[in-house]
A = this chain, B = another copy of it.
Amino acid sequence: MISEKIKSQIGGEMVIRAMFEKGIKMKQEFGADNVFDFSLGNPNVPAPDAVRDSIVDIITNTAPQKVHSYMPNAGFPEVRKAVADHLNSRYGTGYTPDNIIMTAGAGSAINLVLKSILDAGDEVICLAPYFAEYKGYIQNYYADVVEVGPMDDGSFYPDCEKLAAAITPKTKAVMVDTPNNPTGVVYPEPVIKEIAAVLKAKEQEFGTVIYLISDEPYREIVYIEHEGELPWLPDYYDDTVVTYSYSKALSLPGERIGEVIVPDAADGSKELIGAITTCNLLTGTVNAPSLMQLVLARCLDEKADVGFYRKNAELLYEIVTEAGFEALKPQGAFYLWMKAPDGDDNAFTDMAAKHKILVVPGSAFAGPGYVRLSFCVAHDMIERSRQAFMDLGAEYK
- How many copies of this protein are present in the complex? 2
Q: How far is the CA of A320 from the CA of B8 in the complex (A)?
A: 54
Known A-B contacts A10-B274, A64-B251; the reply to A52 vs B59 at CB < 8 A is yes
- State A110–B282 Cα separation when bound (angstroms): 11
**Which of A115, A136, A285, A290 has the most chain B CB atoms inside 10 A of its CB?**
A285
Known: A44-B65, A59-B55, A287-B254. A1 touches B282 (CB 8 A): no
Contact of A254 with B64 at beta-carbon distance under 8 Å, contacts A1-B271, A1-B272, A116-B6 already known: no
Tell me the nearest residue of chain B to A108, going by C-beta.
Answer: B284
Residue of A109, A136, A278 with most partner-chain B CB within 10 A = A278
Indicate with 1 or 0, residue by residue over A113-146, a CB within 8 angstroms of chain B CB atoms.
Answer: 0011111101000000000010011001110000
Selecting from A68-76, A87-95, A183-191, A349-357, the interface stretch reads A68-76
What B residues does A47 contact at CB under 8 A? Answer: 64, 67-68
Task: Give the docked Cα–Cα distance between A60 and B53 (Å).
Answer: 9
Q: Which of B46, B115, B255 contacts A65 (CB 8 A)?
A: B46
Q: Are A278 and B46 in contact (CB under 8 A)?
A: no
Chain B residues with CB under 8 Å of A272's CB are: 1-2
Q: Which residue of B lies closest to A68 (CB)?
A: B252
In the complex, 12 of the A-B residue pairs with CB atoms within 8 angstroms, ordered by the A residue number, are A1-B209, A4-B119, A45-B65, A68-B251, A69-B253, A69-B254, A70-B254, A104-B284, A107-B281, A107-B283, A107-B285, A108-B284
Listed in ascending order, the chain A residues whose CB lies under 8 Å from chain B are: 1-6, 9-10, 13, 42-47, 51-52, 55-56, 59-60, 63-65, 67-71, 104-111, 115-120, 122, 133, 136-137, 140-142, 209, 211, 251-256, 267-268, 271-272, 274-275, 278-279, 281-292
